[in-house]
Amino acid sequence: MSFSLNGVSASKGIAIGRVRILERSEFELREYHLAEDHVDAELERYKNAVNAVRVHLLGVHEQLPPKLGNQVAAFIEVHILMLSDDALTDAPISIIRDQRCNAEWALKQQRDLLVAAFDAIDDPYLRTRKDDVEQVVKRIQRALRDGQRDPGHDPTRFSGRIVFADDLTPADTVQMQHDGILAFLTEFGGPNSHTAILARSLRIPAVAGLHSGPRFLRDGDQVIVDGRHGVVIVEPDEKALRHYRSLQRDVARHHASRRKLLKAPVVTVDGERIQLMANVELDQDVHAAARVGADGIGLYRTEMMFMNRAEPPREEEQYEVYKSVVEAMAGAPVTIRTLDLGADKTVDGVRPGAPAATNPALGLRAVRLCLREVELFKPQLRAILRAAAHGPVRMMVPMVAVLDEMAQVRDILRTCRDELQNEGLPFADEVALGAMIEVPAAAVCADLFARDLDFLSIGTNDLIQYSLAVDRIDDEVNYLYDPLHPAVLRLVQTVIRAGQHASTAVAMCGEMAGDARYTRLLLGLGLREFSVHPNALLEVKQVITTSHMGRLKRLAQRVMRATKSSTRAALVEELNHDERAA
């Protein structure tokens, strides 16, 4: 009997195959008391387990193909570094010694403290970094259980299979992609996990958050994975198989046809030029952006350099990274987003000793954190100014709510320029300065920002979350996350019109921009600059180059007037299939 399981889309694509269940169930952890003369042996057992995991991950790291890029390796390096962090080395040892408890229980206590610290972070991207803690802890627990062995997986088990696991580490993902998996499914995790980011870069279809998977999936089941919609069809009938095989062929044909668009200008049928930029985070994303003909980088996320390290990166390290991105884009503009970290940074070492925020959703994060911690902010601003001497750079400030924040950023920039001038270091004196419009207050006051800044970029991920009071990675409420909610669409239109009236460029860099279902609607609302993941760029480009702006404007206003969600969805569908709009 065929049935469907619903999860969260982690990476687009369709896969059809047999399930291979990766057994990594929760450990049954017992607490027991140690005799005093057994404590030293338990300490040694814990150290040996940590070392076994380190040796295994170093082996995985050494076998990575060079084509995967430095930052894919960095995902695994994060886990290796965590194995040398006091939080997972000294702290559990102290607990074993002080409480005279077994290593497994000591590690569980420390894990609970670390996860609680991450749970206090509002930023959804950073909150999911607790996945790294969970994954490393599970490896150590497994090594303790197996007598200091961390065998990883058998590569012959996964070729041509769809893997289901409670969660996957970046090391698992890279290894399994090398072994030829078709797709992966996870019980936990979400679209912002390292594993999901890797899956999108590696083009592996993936669905996360399949909480009912352990109850209904069995090893060897035939399944269809619909990564775009976050759906898994178990034991599909012939009709479903024919439909999805046809979709696979269509996708393959579309991919082939889109290659013809690589050198084509991004122009609508009636001759309107659209800017199509790329969102990047990893090294391979930068090179992929250049390969698919992006007009530039509309969002370069800088947070990765700050994650899972005892000290923030120094100015010189940041400068070298930003310069390499600017040079790789060979004259195309690069928009660098300043630090977009969340509130409690105890785990990351950015604000050691800082108390957890009472309400992190309204707390110290992004530009607020940077303006409070100027010594954290200035090295990044100096590095960006220096990198801008090597090519066109725009600087984008996240989570701005009031113009006073941008005035403070300008003051710090002036100080940085004066310092660089006195030090004789080359830098760009003029760098376009813009803001991410992701706080509803900023969207409502977009006319003020548009008159004051060089550009605006709509960050729909947070704008939707803040407008609808819904966490898109919370399985209990993410059904409420709706890009077509009238409040969201009105805010988007408000920002676009404010830019038009002030002759200020307005882009969109959130996930809505990269979803081809919304491309024509956004064009009809007046958006002229999109920034999307490189893997989505050609699909969005194809929609743009087959669209007619005149009709789209009229159809978009029908969507804006619709009062029911079902009506809006139907109108967007009509917009995408109306031949007269093409």
CATH for 13: 3.50.30.10
**Distance of CA 384 to CAs 11, 13, 380, 441, Å?**
31, 36, 6, 28
Asked if 288 and 375 sit in the same domain, the reply is: yes
pLDDT digits (tens, 9 = 90+) for 175-206: 787 788 999 999 887 776 667 877 887 789 99
Q: Is the pLDDT of residue 580 over 60?
A: no
Let me know if 194 is a catalytic residue.
Answer: yes
Catalytic residue selected from 101, 416, 445, 509 = 509
HSE, side-chain direction, 13 A CA sphere, residue 475: 14
Structure token pair of residue 410: 């300008």
561 in a structural domain:
no
Determine the Cα–Cα distance for residues 192 and 241; give it in Å rounded to an integer. Answer: 30
Q: Any idea what the CATH number is for the domain that residue 428 is in?
A: 3.20.20.60
Do 411 and 339 lie in one domain? The reply is yes
Give residue 435's domain range.
Answer: 262-548
For the beta sheet containing 183-186, the strands, ordered from the edge strand earlier in sequence to the opposite edge, are 3-6, 231-234, 222-226, 14-21, 161-165, 183-186, 206-208, 8-11
Whether 153 is catalytic: no
Q: Is the pLDDT of residue 347 over 80?
A: no
Looking at 20-34, 429-443, 471-485, which range is the least confident one?
A: 20-34
Residues 374 and 394 reside in one and the same domain: yes
Q: What is the pLDDT of residue 198?
A: 74
Mean of the per-residue pLDDT values for the chain?
86
CB under 8 Å to 548, separation ≥6 — which residues?
A: 268, 269, 270, 580, 581, 582
Tokens of 158: 């996964």
R_g of the chain, CA atoms, integer Å: 25
Q: Which of 519, 507, 395, 513 is nearest to 446 (CA)?
A: 507
The reply to whether 196 falls in a domain is yes
Asked if the model's pLDDT at residue 73 lies above 60, the reply is yes
Total number of domains constituting the chain: 3
pLDDT single digits (tens) 15-28: 999 999 886 544 45
**What would the mean pLDDT of 563-569 be, rounded to a whole number?**
93
Global pTM reads: 0.73
**305 vs 448 pLDDT, higher one:** 448
From the candidates 194, 416, 445, 533, give the one annotated as an active-site residue: 194
Residue 373, domain member (yes or no): yes
Q: What is the pLDDT of residue 22?
A: 80
Give the chain's end-to-end CA distance (angstroms, integer). 41
Domain identity same for 409 and 435: yes
In a domain, 80, yes or no: yes
Q: Is residue 553 part of a domain?
A: no
Which tens digit of pLDDT belongs to each residue from 133-148? 888 998 898 888 876 4
